[in-house]
Structure formats: C-alpha cells, structure tokens
Amino acid sequence: MLSEFVKSADWKSEKHVPVIECAETVKAGDALAIAVTVGKEIAHPNTTNHHISWIALHFVPVGAKVSIEIGRCEFSAHGASVEGPDKGPAFTDSTLTIRAKLAVSGTLYATSFCNIHGLWSSEKAVVVA
C-alpha cells in the first residue's frame, strides 16, 4: 500500500512535514483561509537538487469514505539555469494558500513530495458550527 511510504513527524523538528494553519472552527458556508507550508520551523533547502515538488490539500468529511481534493500546487522554480544548478533567478517557496467553504466538519489532510525524501503528510480537524 502507498500509505507505507507516507512519512509524518513533528513539524517543529522535521523540515519535510506540511504544516496546516487555519481556524479550528468555522461557520457553515463561511470561507476558511488555509495555509500549508513545508519548512515552517526548519527551512527546506528548495534547491535544484533537493526541493519540494508539490503540496496537495484534501478534505474528508466526518463519516465519509473518500477524500475531496481542495487544491494542489506544483513548485517549478528551484534555481536551475543555463549557468548551472542553483544559479537561476527564481526559487519557489513551498507554501500553498487557499480558501474553502465547508458545509460539514471533517479533517484536512496535507501531503507534500520531496524529490529526495518522498511523501510527507499531516492532518488537522475542522469543526463546522
């Protein structure tokens, strides 16, 4: 199963864990601002040779059997250039910011992919009042 290869840890001590930041409670139908960051406490290098390729955010309503993908962001600029690795004019920062309207309570799941260290995940419960 793929779940055997998904890693998780305390984001305060591991730079690969996607950190979900949002309110824990929201009114039904109100926009919920959600930010997902990789390297929040310990910066991830995001270089040509070692970078976060993407972040995906899913929502699983309480009692549901499937997830709903809320958003996905691919990061393409890692400093590559014709002058060589890490000499380019642009480096992306591994942050996804999105707004979503939820009708029911559930759990947000963030996954991120490091080109060297693979898949990482985290989760956060959200109560819809």
- Which of these, 125, 122, 126, lies nearest to 41 by C-alpha position? 122
Average pLDDT over the chain reads 94
Q: Where are the beta strands (DSSP E) in the chain?
A: 18-21, 25-26, 31-38, 52-61, 68-74, 95-101, 106-114, 118-128
- Contact partners, residue 125, CB within 8 Å, separation at least 6: 24, 105, 106, 107, 108
What pLDDT is attached to residue 87? 94
- Which of these, 110, 119, 126, lies nearest to 73 by C-alpha position? 110
Residue 7 in this model has a pLDDT that exceeds 90: no
- CATH architecture for the domain at 2-128: Sandwich (2.60)
Catalytic residues, by residue number, are 14-16, 44, 50, 114, 117
Residue 66 in this model has a pLDDT that exceeds 90: yes
What would the pLDDT profile of 23-48 be if each residue is shown by its tens digit?
Answer: 999 999 999 999 999 998 889 999 99
- Contact partners, residue 27, CB within 8 Å, separation at least 6: 128, 129
What pLDDT is attached to residue 73? 97
